[in-house]
Amino acid sequence: MRTVYWENGVVKLIDQRRLPAVLEIVSYTDYKKIAVAIKDMVVRGAPAIGATAGFGLALAAFASNSSSRKGLLSDLQAAAEELVSARPTAVNPGWVVNRIMVRVAQDESLGLSETRNLVLQEAQLIADEDVAINLEMAKYGSSLISDGDVIIHHCNTGSLATVDWGTALGAIRMAHEQGKKIHVLVDETRPRLQGSRLTAWELDQYGISYEIISDNMAGYFLRSGNATKVFFGADRVAANGDVANKIGTYMLSLAAKDNNIPVYPVVPTSTIDLSLRDGDQIPLEERDPREVLDISFQGERVAPIEAQARNIAFDITPHRLVTAIVTERGIIHPPFEENLAGVLRNE
């Protein structure tokens, strides 16, 4: 089942907020509500957000009442800006809507109906390409996984984070299907617990051995020799190889580096942003403090009612902590600034 898909003029999403308790499909016919769904994390994971933004742009195309091509393109531009701003750290939504906008602007002879249909066709093509890209990444990533590995995985990078199959978790799944005996230590990934709620749920579906650990246990397993590799995804990769990913990735990578454990981000090339020199230029989202403060234990609120909180959603892992970056075009090793640019030049 795909995380996001178009069906008879409706965008359908798996509501990731309901998992693992309920598998619910929600429907949208308004691109503004798609933007809210992205912001509220009905859908999450950079590739899935990108595909959703593409289908949201298609909704905007069919909803536009403009009687001119120029007016339709103006409406699409406004929708594109709203969709991209919903989750600013991930580069994929901007990449997707820019690709669609460039495509529809290329042929000025298209009529209104043809332009609207082209937006949908391009959005569907991007979604289909995502699945194929994920499978290629899984093949490359699985080659880094050995029989008997114990892998620490942060956040969620499986089918739910993409259109289908997944990035880092896709590589783990591929290794499992190749017959390798592996075990996954699943970081809870606080405060929204994507690891406990989503990654563990997916591993259950695939029959892959796993245990959930709190984020602050990772250092113990790395230092004690009870973990052999670290895998995660990314929402944006800067030109020098700095990686923006879910908060906690930096601390995990530091501990891995200190214990000579390899660290592998698994990312589509659409996530690589050569326009940004380094990670300091990546915008990092700060979310509602209630995600931190409203956590309960055994039915009781954890934090004092008057407490304040910060909720930085992402952090930057410097490229010096990264062993190699897995993409659909191969495994990229340092020096990243040279080799990332080289991979993208060969498009």
Q: Which residues are catalytic?
A: 235
Rounded Cα gap, residues 44 and 260, in angstroms: 31
Rounded Cα gap, residues 264 and 60, in angstroms: 37
Rounded Cα gap, residues 295 and 302, in angstroms: 6
Q: Scanning the structure block, which residue is given the tokens 């409406």?
A: 75
Pairing, β 150-153 against β 183-187 = parallel
- Which of the 8 DSSP states describes residue 199? I
The distance in angstroms from the start CA to the end CA of the chain is 29
3-state helix, strand, coil in the chain (%, to 5): 45, 20, 35
Instruction: Classify the C-alpha dihedral 323-149-20-187 as positive or negative.
Output: negative
**H or E stretch covering 145:** none
Residue of 72, 18, 60, 10 whose CA lies nearest to 35: 60
> Which residues, other chains included, contact 169 with Cβ-Cβ below 8 Å and sequence gap of 6+?
153, 156, 157, 158, 159, 161, 199, 202, 203, 231
